[in-house]
Each structure stands twice: as C-alpha cells, then as structure tokens.
C-alpha cells in the first residue's frame, strides 16, 4: 500500500434528482401551507408533543396520529445544512448556481428544504441566518 496526499483529493460529488412523480389533492393541511405561500406567510403543523413541523403533513410521522392545528412560523431561520448546486439541474426554478439548504425557521422544530440565492458557495454556512424573499 502506498501513501496518499489528501491535498490532491477531489471533493466527493453526487448527482441527485429530487422529484415528486405523483399527483394528489392538497387537502386542508397542505392547502393551508400553499395558501400561506400565496399570501407570503409560512405555516407548519403542531404535533401531539407540541413540536411544529414545516412543511406541514396530515399525519404525525412517529405516531401516525391525525394532525390539524396549523400554526404560523417566522419567515426567518437558520441554515442547519446546505449544498451548492452548480450547474443548476434541468427544470430548476433558478438558472444560475445556487444553494439548497435545510432551514430551521424560527418557531419550527423541523427544517424546510429551500433554495438560497447567493453568488457563491463561500457565502453559505451552517448557522447562517436567512430570511424568505417573496416574489411580487
């Protein structure tokens, strides 16, 4: 076995496609989330243990109990994990390189996956505070 200089190692790269190849009705919980997006308001769902999930789902993923209490959360939050997307994937809403981050919104207990539009990966960091920017 021979030695290996770590400084010559190329960073790992994995192509990943995130897709939802199904159609469904929104119902009252997802419908409330989508209506909130239209109105520039972010909402989650309160679980039986008091925690708030964003985006909201109809059933608790741990207990399978039905969930109905929609609650507003903040449009500001903290990046808990992120990746840089370059080049943008086909069908992406952004045509320039961008970040994808798990953002823990203030008032939520689970992070939301979303794009972070910055000029370079050097502008992203775990712990970075971010705020939603709404289209007109």
pLDDT tens digits for 91-101? 889 999 999 99
> Which stretches of the chain are assigned E, i.e. beta strand?
42-46, 52-53, 70-73, 76-85, 98-105, 112-116, 129-131
Express the helix, strand and coil content of the chain in percent, nearest 5 each.
15, 30, 60
Tell me which of 25 and 116 has the higher pLDDT: 116
Residue 13: the pLDDT is 80
Is there a single domain that holds both residue 41 and residue 80?
no
Domain holding 62, by residue range, is 27-73
Q: What is the CATH number of the domain that holds 129?
A: 2.40.50
Contact 106, 73 (CB under 8 A): yes
Average pLDDT over the chain, rounded to an integer: 91
Q: Is the pLDDT of residue 6 over 60?
A: no
Is there a single domain that holds both residue 41 and residue 94?
no
Query: Pick from 35, 57, 73: which residue ends a domain?
Result: 73
What's the pTM value of the predicted model, to 2 decimals?
0.79
Is there a single domain that holds both residue 54 and residue 64?
yes
Number of structural domains, the chain? 2
Query: Pick from 52, 73, 94: which residue ends a domain?
Result: 73
pLDDT tens digits for 46-81? 999 999 999 999 999 999 999 999 999 999 999 999
Residue 83: the pLDDT is 96
Is there a single domain that holds both residue 64 and residue 93?
no
Is there a single domain that holds both residue 96 and residue 64?
no
Tell me which of 33 and 26 has the higher pLDDT: 33
């Amino acid at each position: 076995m021979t030695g290996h200089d770590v400084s010559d190692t190329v960073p790992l790269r994995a192509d990943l496609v995130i897709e939802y190849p199904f159609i469904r009705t929104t119902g009252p919980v997802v419908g409330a989330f989508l209506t909130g997006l239209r109105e520039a308001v972010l909402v989650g769902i309160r679980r039986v243990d008091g925690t708030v999930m964003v985006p909201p789902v109809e059933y608790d993923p741990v207990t399978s109990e039905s969930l109905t209490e929609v609650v507003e959360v903040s449009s500001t939050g903290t990046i808990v994990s992120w990746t840089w997307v370059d080049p943008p994937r086909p069908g992406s809403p952004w045509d320039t390189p961008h970040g994808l981050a798990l953002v823990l919104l203030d008032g939520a207990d689970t992070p939301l996956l979303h794009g972070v539009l910055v000029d370079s990966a050097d502008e992203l960091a775990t712990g970075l505070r971010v705020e939603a920017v709404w289209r007109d």
